[in-house]
Amino acid sequence: MMKEIGRRAVFLLLVLVLAGCGGEETAVSTPDFDSNPDPPPIPQPRYDGPKPEKGTGNVYGQIMWNGLAAAGLDVKLCQEISVFGDCNGTMIESHTDETGYYLFPNVVPGTYSLYIHIFDSADWIYITDGILSAAEFEVESGETTVIETQSIYKLDLRPLEPGPQAKVKGGEHTFNWQAYPDAAYYEIYLTPDQGEAIFVNQRVDSARITADLPPSNCDYSWKVEAFNSDGVKIAEMRDYVEFRVVDEPASCVLIVNGPTADASVPARGVVLDWEPHPLAVSYKILMWDDSDEARTHILDFFTVTESQFKFNGALTPDHRYIWSVYAYDAAGREIAATEVVSFTAVAD
């Protein structure tokens, strides 16, 4: 009997070993949710080998990179994977063959997770069932559990400029990275610490792109992913590259004057107040009642032109409220924002 397990996780979490080691660095491919065409379907494994011995089960699957078999990878079945990415409890070892297939024969029935050693690097990954938790596969007596083909990508795409911890002025800047072999196009992410993202899944066909950074002091991070002509991710930068815009007249962080975090304020006549931004022509306020099960929006990106807003009536006593403000310039760009702040309304 054969039991198939589909691609039940969008992400695979990379486990980093701190000891230095050369070689390739890889993580697991994730589906794309943008306008690019979907990658062609990957032929899925079908097991027709020996049946498991009595009282045991098999686990079978395949790993690929850039449309090719990922041969020679060590793989493990782990009874438990900790929050730190360690393989604990019962541990069963196997490896991928020249076609990228692996087999764990005659496994004691139980619940396991899949753990993959990436080429000749010090990196291990595991399939997740969400953002962090490891996906679990049930091995049953007399059955072969087939795990859907997993497509992995490398972490060796190299940023050029701006580099880590660079300091730049606002305005037009070119972002460069090393062209990646077999890459047909790239997607770039560029986001400030506060304010609107500049690029999210922005496609570019060459290894560079120009962006206009607002003239506000702000921390930024950027990252690039590489895709082949079939739309399959084959590489990305290992980490986000962090840099900073400096020496500008304003900041991308709006300062809250009140109510401040975890404050208790009289329910009647609450005033939301923040420091004005010199480049802002308007602000939008988001606020909801966190004590209401429906999380009702009291202000749903309500627009004002001053740096405060006063409630004429009363809020509900003993309710917790959460609010934040976003600043916009004359071009309609979100250029700054407050932290998300909570306070409690109390009876007068």
Higher-confidence residue of 108 and 18: namely 108
Structure confidence at residue 29 (pLDDT): 39
Work out the burial of residue 85: count CB atoms within 10 Å of its CB; fewer than 13 is exposed, 13-18 middle, 19 or more buried.
Answer: middle
- Residue 11 backbone dihedrals phi, psi, to 5 degrees: -115, 155
pLDDT > 50? residue 16: no
Which single residue is written with the structure tokens 């994977």?
A: 81
Dist CA 214 CA 35 (whole Å): 27
Contacts of 292 (CB under 8 A, 6+ apart): 319
Report the range of poorest mean pLDDT among 81-95, 126-140, 233-247.
126-140
* 341's tokens: 């702040």
Q: Which residue has the tokens 């000891």?
A: 19
Q: Residue 318 corresponds to which tokens in the numbers above? A: 């003993």
Output the CA–CA distances (angstroms, integers) from residue 121 to 15, 87, 115, 233, 235, in the order listed.
Answer: 11, 17, 14, 19, 15
Cβ pair 157, 222 in contact under 8 A: no
Residues 232-238: what's their mean pLDDT? Answer: 90
Average pLDDT over residues 79-97: 87
Residue 23 has pLDDT above 80, yes or no: no
List of residues 6+ apart from 291 with CB closer than 8 A: 316, 318, 319, 320
Whether 265 and 256 have beta carbons less than 8 Å apart is answered as no
Q: From CA 281, how far away is CA 306, in angstroms rounded?
A: 9
Q: Which domains does the chain have, with CATH numbers?
A: 2-154 (2.60.40.1120), 159-245 (2.60.40.1220), 256-346 (2.60.40.10)
Give 319: exposed, middle or buried? Use CB within 10 Å, 0-12, 13-18, 19+.
middle
Q: Above pLDDT 90, what percent of the chain?
A: 68
Amino acid at site 339: E
Give the pLDDT band (50/70/90) at residue 157: very high
Predicted confidence (pLDDT) at residue 37 exceeds the cutoff of 50: yes
Region 184-210: mean pLDDT is: 95
Average pLDDT, integer, range 52-65: 95
Q: Compute the average pLDDT of residues 49-54.
A: 94
pLDDT score of 36: 59
Mean pLDDT of the residues in the chain: 87
**Cα dihedral value 113, 232, 47, 127, nearest 10:** 0
Residue 117 has a pLDDT of 86
pLDDT class for 38, splitting at 50, 70, 90?
A: low
Q: Is the pLDDT of residue 33 over 80?
A: no
Query: Whose structure tokens read 């306070």?
Result: 343
Give the separation between CA 75 and CA 125, rounded to whole angstroms: 10
